[in-house]
Structure 1
Amino acid sequence: MNNGYEIQPRKDAFKEGIAALTGLATSVVSDVLGRTIGAVDILPVNKSPVSVCGNAVTVNARSGDNLMIHKALQFLQPGDVLVVDGGGDISRALFGEIMMTVAKSRGAIGAVFDAAIRDVEAFEKHQFPCWARGINMRGPFKDGPGSINVPISIGGMIVNPGDVILGDCDGIIALPPELVMEGARLGKEKELVERKTIQSILDGKYDDAWIDATLKQKGVL
């Protein structure tokens, strides 16, 4: 740490875990891991359906300032997801078409901001998934300070460098490597159960007896 600046080495991607989680729904993985994992109010800016599963490169940026985000772009490798804690401030955009183009050219597959972004049409045009707290045309300062590859908080969710980021139209979750394989295993089991439930509804065989049973236990019925 030097006058509010800190740059740590990037964490290698957990490729096996990323492969295992790819294609699973964020809601399902969050459910099977206790329904406590997931960012709040960080939503996709793209109009088309989006999904991403990759390695977290983290940035803690001063509110309204993107100097250290520019520096973090130099760390990006194929399969990375840039994740930025901008303090939830949406008064200035921290990321736009130029920075997105740099990130994409270096192999990044998505970006997440607890802050505002701009040039939204470019993200849609180039099919670059991005999740953010807001949108604002006003540009940022470029003075710092900030930190790269340190623990951050996105929408109330802790993200560490090297976490696996899973995102879709519902939002973003981050899993530490030690939870990834269990989350993938349980998530695949739950998706199978949900597909069977939906089919039972379509077949007219849906069993909702659990609703009254639960209410009886609570003394309602």
Structure 2
Amino acid sequence: MIEEPKALRIARDLGPDGTPGWRQPTAAQIAAFRDQPTGFVLDAMMGAGAMSAAIKPCAGLPDRLCGPALPVGNRPGDVLATLAAIHMVRPGDILVAGFDGYQGCAAAGDRVMGFLRNRGGAGFVTDGPLRDLTGLRGIGLPAFCTGLTPGSPVARGPGTVGLPVRCGGQQVETGDMIVGDSDGIVVVPFARIDAVIAALRGVAEAELSLDAQVADGLAEVGLISAMLESGEDIDWV
């Protein structure tokens, strides 16, 4: 006989008391990403780390998100693990709720967002839709999702809290940096945070310099100008 799985699997070093060993970026590391566009962060990772373009900021809510991930794994149409994760949230956490991409009902609504806000959470990301838009706007917490639906989920499990989860095409683990804006969501793996911060400085300098040149009237792309001048990589027909 196949043994029935437990309703919840929770990473042992998670807990409402903030058990030591729960990895989390430092305040300085989080601050390094806070005002950076997702495009800059992605470039600093050589183009890796973006979630699916289907995951967008929910209309009428703040579209800026920055903080460490608390990953949650749900079965399609089920939110038991998301509800359990509310009890594990630490101030500043981003709840990343994998929903297996299911679009048939909501992955959360205004009540879950209210719980999350009251626990000090900084935002919510899911690969499913949300519901209760009017209530969500009243809560005012940043939420990224695939759209809206009136459909209600169930809460039966099984599900996971604090274990790696796949969401929007990206692997998300506890303590990974989540950066979001109007362009979407980028995931920075915990082990790469310092390296990405170092690369980010150079990316930002280059991008801001080019922006200033365009504002001053620049009207050509250096790479294309060089190709046109040399003619080596162009076949004129």
Aligned residues of 1:197 and 1:206 also touching (Cα < 8 A):
no
Matched residue SS, 1:134: coil
What aligned pairs does 1:1-221 form with structure 2 within 5 A after superposition?
3=5, 5-8=8-11, 9-10=13-14, 11-15=22-26, 16-40=28-52, 41-214=54-227, 216-220=231-235
Aligned residues of 1:58 and 1:149 also touching (Cα < 8 A):
yes
Aligned residues of 1:46 and 1:130 also touching (Cα < 8 A):
no
The TM-score with structure 1 as length reference comes to 0.92
Aligned residues of 1:123 and 1:129 also touching (Cα < 8 A):
no
Q: How many matched pairs?
A: 221
Aligned-residue offset at 1:47: 2.5
Aligned residues of 2:117 and 2:139 also touching (Cα < 8 A):
no
Q: State the distance in 2 between where 1:214 and 1:182 align.
A: 33
RMSD, aligned CA: 2.0
- Describe the shift of the 1:2–1:148 C-alpha distance in structure 2 as closer, same or farther (beyond 3 A): farther
Matched residue SS, 2:202: helix
Q: State the distance in 1 between where 2:23 and 2:214 align.
A: 44
Aligned residues of 2:61 and 2:142 also touching (Cα < 8 A):
no
The TM-score with structure 2 as length reference comes to 0.86
Matched residue SS, 1:121: helix
* 2:45 partner letter: L
Aligned-residue offset at 1:214: 4.0
Q: State the distance in 2 between where 1:101 and 1:184 align.
A: 32
Aligned residues of 2:61 and 2:143 also touching (Cα < 8 A):
no
The structure whose residues are more often strand, as a share, is: 1
Matched residue SS, 2:209: helix
Matched residue SS, 1:104: helix
- Give the gaps of 5 or more residues in structure 1: none
Larger radius of gyration: 2
- Describe the shift of the 1:181–1:220 C-alpha distance in structure 2 as closer, same or farther (beyond 3 A): farther
Runs of 4+ in 1 over 6 A off after TM superposition: none
